[in-house]
């Protein structure tokens, strides 16, 4: 398991993002957050992975939680700590565009390596995963900033679920 305070903080963050995106009404209910998209009630299991080894288990736990809720589901997983265990800073000052390109490329390489394991862990019932990651970086102007990246991975096994996830993602 994890730190209850930080877990609750991530659940609140996910709920706030849903509310900001207009996926209302939003509630903190099982699996962790409930939101609505195009008249469909989605359950979101929000998890934090502390290291690469725990990522698979957190995805499986989230998928099980969604199945128990018996509603279309999405996993939201915070990978900040798992992908940067030593909390290293990105100290090379590069443009936002180049930084974004490299950040996305590295993240997609990670997803490509883990794709088969992720699909096995998710099983049926989960429409997709929203991976959320943040890194501290040094800006070209000499300041520090927090750069965030959210990547969606469809895991749906049928067309209806894939379409529902597409609505959620957009």
Model confidence pLDDT, tens digit, residues 59-108 = 999 999 999 998 889 999 999 888 877 766 777 888 889 988 988 999 99
Predicted pLDDT at 91: 79
The tokens describing 122, both together, are 């998710």
Question: Which of 64, 67, 155 is CA-nearest to residue 114?
Answer: 155
Q: What is the pLDDT of residues 117-169, one digit of tens each?
A: 888 888 777 999 999 999 888 888 989 988 899 999 999 888 888 888 888 88
Predicted pLDDT at 129: 95
Predicted pLDDT at 86: 74
Q: What is the pLDDT of residues 11-49, one digit of tens each?
A: 999 999 999 999 999 999 999 999 999 889 999 999 999
Q: What global pTM score does this model have?
A: 0.88
DSSP strands (E only) in 25-70: 33-37, 40-48
Question: Which of 126, 4, 15, 9 is CA-nearest to residue 65?
Answer: 126
Predicted pLDDT at 164: 85
Predicted pLDDT at 2: 56
Q: Is the pLDDT of residue 1 over 70?
A: no
Predicted pLDDT at 15: 96
What is the rounded CA–CA span in Å between residue 8 and residue 102? 31
- Are the CB atoms for 74 and 168 separated by under 8 Å? yes
What is the rounded CA–CA span in Å between residue 168 and residue 63? 17
- Coil, strand, or helix at residue 42? strand
């Amino acid at each position: 398991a994890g730190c209850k305070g930080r877990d609750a903080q991530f659940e609140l963050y996910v709920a706030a993002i849903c509310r900001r995106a207009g996926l209302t009404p939003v509630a903190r209910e099982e699996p962790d957050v409930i939101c609505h998209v195009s008249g469909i009630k989605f359950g979101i299991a929000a998890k934090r992975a502390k290291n690469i080894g725990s990522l698979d288990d957190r995805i499986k736990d989230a998928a099980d939680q969604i199945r128990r809720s018996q509603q279309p589901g999405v996993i939201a997983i915070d990978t900040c700590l798992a992908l940067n265990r030593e909390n290293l800073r990105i100290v090379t000052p590069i443009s936002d565009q180049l930084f974004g390109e490299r950040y996305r490329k590295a993240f997609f390489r990670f997803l490509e390596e883990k794709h088969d394991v992720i699909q096995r862990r998710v099983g049926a019932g989960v429409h997709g995963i929203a991976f959320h990651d943040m890194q501290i970086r040094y800006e070209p102007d000499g300041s520090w900033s927090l750069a965030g990246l959210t990547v969606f991975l469809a895991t749906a096994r049928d067309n209806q679920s894939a379409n529902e996830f597409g609505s959620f993602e957009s």
